[in-house]
Structures are given as structure tokens and as C-alpha cells.
Amino acid sequence: MLEQLETLHTGALSELEAVKDSGALHEWESKYLGGKGGVTLLLRGIGQLPKEQRADFGKRANEVRDLLTEAYIGREKLVHEHELARDLEEGQIDVTLPGRERSVGGLHPSTQTLRELYAIWADMGFQVYRSRDVEDDETNFSMLNIPPHHPARDMWDTFYTTTPGVILRTHTSPGQIRSMHELGGNGTQPIRVILPGMCYRYEHITTRSEMQFHQLEGVAIGRNIRMTDLKGTVTAFARRMFGANAAVRFRASYFPFTEPSMEIDVECFLCGGQGCKVCKYAGWLEIAGAGMMHPTVLRNGGYDPSQWSGFAFGMGPERMAMLKHGINDIRYFWGNDLRFLEQF
């Protein structure tokens, strides 16, 4: 076995001199120094030797293993330097080539739509007013002419918290009250604001409804504001948003915080009013709800309804994006699927 050990030692060193790459170096290590390598197997067979030869053989086997390990480390360094030099020679960087463009993100389609809405309403003299997402029941409902047990509360499926009277806002309308108190100068100053933000409703998620979504509320308060002002303002907005020739119609409706109230439709810009799948073959697309502010709401905001009047409207940015781009499932907006988002 001692002769086998010396033969293995000589052969291993000879083979190591011929190793030129990391793959062959790894194979050499496994062949001679690994758990099933030649040196290890000889050491495991030491029990077959006579007792008087075991000590000398074990000593020499350990010496051979240490020598081969040292030779392996030295060869590993040479192979690494050789491979590095080869990579630098073969993979030279051509500094004359144009640089690689970095991929950048983009704005979410909801954000794009909101910014478009901001720009239009800013041109029409409305400033942006931010209100809170977590509201109290009083401001979210009662101050908007929806007292406890009012049947209209069934129109909103509310997220309640463990703190009594504290909820996630179901609409941006409570911002009306807060903007009036903050900007109205105790009921002495006219205001014109839009109130964008996220709303939350405990609803079943479908292609047409989500449990969280954006709304954009609008409020204008002044002296002698009339329904004609509301209709003219909304019509001007629709023609900025959907085209200069967009036809607009108004339908009577009901909201507790406006009186009279109405729904606002724009002629389907995809089919020109002829009827298609997007407009459900009606030729019209609903874009907003609106109305003249209820005297109770004005009074709760600090204004005297005998001296002041105003209008309010609310629209959904995701719904507008769906209409404008022919999107048929609102869940795409919150699914974080890049295949959808990168189209915008």
C-alpha cells in the first residue's frame, strides 16, 4: 500500500501540471482529495496492514495529502489568473459602442388619469384639496345629510374599525365638509376645489367593482351659483377629457347631499353613439354624479344657504380610464400585472 501511495502521489502531481481550467481542477480535487478520492480510500484501508506498518503508512499518507493540498492551492491560483487574463483578452469592452439604456418604471394608469383630471380642473380654476382616508362616522355620513338609520346608508358598504365611530371613508364627499371649514373663512369666502383620493367599501370584487378605488370630488361654492353653472362646467370638462365634440346628457338621480341631483353621461366616443359593447349598446357612458349642494350640507360646512349656494360632483378615475382605453375589468388596476401596466 505504501507503493500505491507513492505511485498515486507522483501521478497526481503529473496530472495537476496538465490542468488548465477550473472544471478540470475540480475533477482532480475530487479524484485525489475528495471524500471518495484516492488518498482517502488508501487511508480507510489502513486497517488491512500489519500493526507495525500502520503508523508509518498513516504518517506518510497524511504527508502526501498535505503536499497534494498545497500543490492544489498553488495550481488553483495559477488557473484563476490564466482564466482572468483570457476573459479580459476575449471579452474586451468596446468603449465606442452605445451604452445600454436602463429600464425605467412608468406611471400607473390611475395616476396618469388623475394627473389628466388635475390639469383640466386646474385650468378651470379648481385647486386640489387632500382629505383623510380614515374618517369619523359623523363627517362621513351625518354631516352630509345622512343621519343614523337613514336608508341612504345602505348605498355604501362601510369598513368599520375597532374604534367606535371611526371608519374608512366610503367616498370623498366628507372632504366637502372639511374643505368648507378650512378654506371657507367661516362661511365668508367662495371656494372651488377638487378632492381626489382613495375610497373603501366592503363589496364583492367583480369585473365592475372593487373594495378600494379612487374618486375625485369637486365642490364650487359662491353667491348665486345655479344649476346652469354646474351643467356648463361639467360639459366643458367632458369636452376637454373626451373630445371637443363630445355630447353630454343629464339624468335625474338621488344623492342625500345634493338637491336636485343628477347623473352625467357622455356620448360613447368609441362608437359615436351608435351602440357598442363598451356602452352596452346604449350609445352613452356614465362619467359622474352631481347636483346642487343640499342646504343642510352647506349649513354644516359653515355657510348660510340663504346667501350661498354651490354644486358638487364626483367621478371615478379608474372608470374613466376603463372607458377611454376599453378596459373591461377593474381588477387589472390592482393586480400588479406588468403585462397590463406596461401598456400605459
Counting residues of the chain whose pLDDT is more than 90, the rounded percentage is 47
- Rounded to 10 deg, the angle between the 22-32 and 51-90 helix axes is 170
Q: Note the pLDDT of residue 217.
A: 94
Q: Note the pLDDT of residue 91.
A: 67
Q: Note the pLDDT of residue 50.
A: 81
Residue numbers in the chain where pLDDT is lower than 70: 91-94, 278
Measured in whole angstroms, the distance separating CA 280 from the mean position of its chain's CA atoms is 30
Between the two ends of the chain, the Cα-to-Cα distance in Å is 75
Counting residues of the chain whose pLDDT is more than 70, the rounded percentage is 98
Q: Mind giving me the DSSP string for 229-257?
A: HHHHHHHHHHHHHH-TT--EEEEEEEETT
Q: For residues 319 and 257, give the distance between their C-alpha atoms in angstroms, rounded to a whole number.
A: 22
Q: Is the peptide bond before 260 cis (omega within 30 degrees of 0)?
A: yes
Q: For residues 43 and 59, give the distance between their C-alpha atoms in angstroms, rounded to a whole number.
A: 10
Q: Note the pLDDT of residue 243.
A: 84
Q: Note the pLDDT of residue 92.
A: 67
Q: Note the pLDDT of residue 258.
A: 95
| Sign of the CA dihedral running 194, 242, 251, 111 | negative
- Residue pLDDT, tens place only, 168-209: 999 999 999 999 999 999 999 999 999 999 999 988 888 778
Write the single-letter amino acid at 43.
L
- Going across the sheet that includes 284-293, the strands are 127-128, 191-200, 212-222, 309-315, 284-293, 258-267, 248-255
Q: What is the 3 state secondary structure string of 141-181?
A: CHHHCCCCCCHHHHHCCCEECCCCCEEECCCCCHHHHHHHH
DSSP bridge pairs for 219: 193, 312
